[in-house]
Structure 1
Amino acid sequence: MIPWVEDIARKNDSSGHALYMMKDGKTVLEHYGGYHSFEPAAQEVKATSRFNIASARKSYIALVIAYALYDRLLELDRPVHDYLEESNPVFSGVSIRHLLTHTHGVGEGDSGLYTEFTPGENWSYNNVGLDTLAHLVMEMYGETIRSFLQKRVFNQLNWTETGWENEDSHKLVKIISNRDEKALNGLHSDCDGTKKNLFVSAREFAWWGQLHLDKGRVGNRQIIPEEVVNLATTIQTPSGLSYDLPRNGAFWYVQDVPRMKSEIGDAVPAGSYQILGVTGPTILVIPKYQIVAVKMYNKRYNYGGADYLRYLKEYGNRVADACT
């Protein structure tokens, strides 16, 4: 796996990368390479280096949404209109389930939200579902995504390398847009947990995956109710969706059978689930083999081009093949 991860870093011009794999709850592979940016004095990538995980943050927000479902604050098949004080007409026919699984059919353009397709009849990846649900659950719990997770998860496990950041630090890996351009810091003034400023080390990213694999249990402590984890990591996609389209839990991609437009490799067994971000960070959880595999990069559009799904599937296939 290490040569493959390093080869992808070279192909995509990522300045830094990491690979962290766990088997049966134990670390079996830990590798770091490159630098926080291409700047001359950039830090080397180390175990304490924290990558901006971009859209992989959806898995963190998803857990709070799963809690809201568990606490009966939300119901999967109730219309979004039931929960919004001022509901946009484009949400007509859209349920909580649709928002969670990219099947809501609401697009977002320069002039605002618009109807892209009938809810439940197609699949389209965007942030409308995430943004709508994130703000909804914050209102319901009366606290931010960040504070909710900090109290219920991060503090319970003494995690110090996971968090939304608004100030730079020597431990934060920069985001590469192009080698010849100044690296981006990925910071945001708002740290409520909704923005793309979540930075995580490779090891705590893997522990996040392991927490899900272990159904919210750490040792003899049930940190998260098992049903909350199940809601997040089992298929919630409405039935009847085209065969080729991905299936999702709460934003996690979930494998049942190989699907042409899924990001999960065909060799990855059923019941596995994965989340990734545009800069390349990925968690793949394979319950059948008790494996959590994490890779980290810092290059935007890390798998750019029309053939990007091939690289995403190849990662999962290589992990799965290594287990058989």
Structure 2
Amino acid sequence: MLITTFKSVINAIENTYQTLDCTGAALVIFHNNELQVERYWGKHSAKKDARLVQSDTKFHIASCRKSYVAFAVAYALHHGFIQSLDAEILIYLPLPQQKELYKGITIRHLVTHSHGLIERNGEVVREFTAGTSWAYRDINVELISEIIQFTTKKTIAEILNYEVFTPSNFIETNWYNTFDDTFVDVIGKENNRHWSASLNLDGSKKNLYASARELAKWGLLHLNNGSLNGKQVIDSNIIQLATTLQSPSYSNADLPENGIFWFVKGSQAKKSEIGALVPNGAYQILGYTTVTLLIIPSENIVAVRAFNSYGNPEGYDYLKDVRAFGDAIMLDLT
């Protein structure tokens, strides 16, 4: 059996850690369901007496939260609360004053970033015809959150807590509005220690935190089709639905490819956030804090990197960097 020290990816994380405006980082890698790497760097904040980053450190995972929203969408589809990915959103969002604006937009369009909506000056408008292009906008999460609650009569947080967090014994993952010393500061977000902290705990906001180890266990649930430590926690059909390529056919073959919010590797699309060396079938989620969860089923890999940064410093190419993360893992496996 090939034994690797994952030296390339450790070096990649150290390089990113030195490049970003951050004070702490983490790396967790499972290979063949065995923990191979668990490394921590730095502190929770820039304060002199700040706590060291460690196994229970909770990172703000930003858009990585969409992998949990994806579960709620797949859950609603699997149980028939939502008819299909191709159901128009107006079925579940009766908005007569905006009927023409939302007409023709489907659940599939929302979860693959192909909906074409954008908010400008407080008003939602069309950026492009649904299904014809791709753009990363937060309005789709806002709409899908409303749809989940309307159809299931539960919030996203309620679904995740009951269906995933409690049976998986996840105690370091959730939406939070109070913080203790296990939470990192988000460096670079001025005048806000905890970026996008919200009193709202329904799962629709950006206040989701997780430890690197539990984010990796979330990945293991996906790698093992809903099973964790020999226990079937999630119906495998829900996992498959969320992580199967669901994007509409674009005329531009270089646009990113998505499952339900997850970025899925189906080709060598030039705008993909997944590295060129990573095989097809892999899927990944990336947050604005540079937190990343990558799952490579064909290699039995789950990898998490976490930082407490906010956004991209001048000269930092986030796409190049996150692709290098996956490519370094593949180099270590060769």
Q: TM-score, normalised by structure 2?
A: 0.93
Q: Distance in 1 between matches of 2:307 and 2:316?
A: 20
Of residues 32, 35, 43, the one that matches 1:24 is 32
Q: Distance in 1 between matches of 2:101 and 2:297?
A: 38
1:81-121 CA-to-partner distances (Å, cap 9, x unmatched) read 11112152321211111011000101112231100001111
Residues 26-45 of structure 1: pairs in structure 2 closer than 5 A? 26-45=34-53
Residues 247-262 of structure 1: pairs in structure 2 closer than 5 A? 247-262=257-272
Shift of 1:151: 1.0
SS at match of 2:19: helix
2:91 aligned with 1:82:
yes
Q: Quote the residue 1:71 is aligned against.
A: 79
Of residues 156, 160, 174, the one that matches 2:185 is 174
Q: Quote the residue 1:104 is aligned against.
A: 115
Q: Quote the residue 2:56 is aligned against.
A: 48
Q: Quote the residue 2:169 is aligned against.
A: 158
Contact 1:303/1:311 (CA < 8 Å) preserved in 2? no
Shift of 1:122: 0.4
Contact 2:220/2:228 (CA < 8 Å) preserved in 1? no
Contact 2:225/2:236 (CA < 8 Å) preserved in 1? yes
SS at match of 2:28: strand
SS at match of 1:135: helix
What code does the residue aligned with 1:320 have? M
Q: Distance in 1 between matches of 2:147 and 2:212?
A: 30
Note closer, same or farther for the CA distance 1:207–1:312 as it changes in structure 2 (3 Å cut): same
Q: Distance in 2 between matches of 1:167 and 1:298?
A: 18
Q: Quote the residue 1:202 is aligned against.
A: 212
Note closer, same or farther for the CA distance 1:135–1:213 as it changes in structure 2 (3 Å cut): same
Shift of 1:138: 1.5
SS at match of 2:66: helix
Note closer, same or farther for the CA distance 1:57–1:169 as it changes in structure 2 (3 Å cut): same
Q: Quote the residue 1:118 is aligned against.
A: 129
Q: Quote the residue 2:193 is aligned against.
A: 184
What's the Cα RMSD here? Answer: 1.5
Contact 1:176/1:183 (CA < 8 Å) preserved in 2? no
Shift of 1:303: 6.5
Note closer, same or farther for the CA distance 1:112–1:291 as it changes in structure 2 (3 Å cut): same
Of residues 243, 249, 264, the one that matches 1:233 is 243
1:254-305 CA-to-partner distances (Å, cap 9, x unmatched) read 0011111111011000000000100011000000100001000011114765
2:202 aligned with 1:224:
no
- Higher deviation after alignment, 297-306 or 284-293: 297-306
Q: Distance in 1 between matches of 2:227 and 2:313?
A: 34
Q: Distance in 2 between matches of 1:230 and 1:304?
A: 38
Q: Distance in 2 between matches of 1:38 and 1:275?
A: 27
SS at match of 1:98: helix
1:120-146 CA-to-partner distances (Å, cap 9, x unmatched) read 110000112111111211222222211
- Gaps (5+ residues) in structure 1? none
Note closer, same or farther for the CA distance 1:163–1:304 as it changes in structure 2 (3 Å cut): farther
- Higher deviation after alignment, 14-23 or 86-95: 86-95
Q: Quote the residue 1:300 is aligned against.
A: 310
Q: Quote the residue 2:150 is aligned against.
A: 139
Contact 1:144/1:192 (CA < 8 Å) preserved in 2? yes
Contact 1:37/1:183 (CA < 8 Å) preserved in 2? no
Q: Distance in 1 between matches of 2:171 and 2:122?
A: 40
Q: Distance in 2 between matches of 1:139 and 1:238?
A: 25
Could you tell me the percent identity over the aligned residues?
A: 38
Q: How many residues align?
A: 322
Contact 1:280/1:303 (CA < 8 Å) preserved in 2? no
2:102 aligned with 1:91:
yes
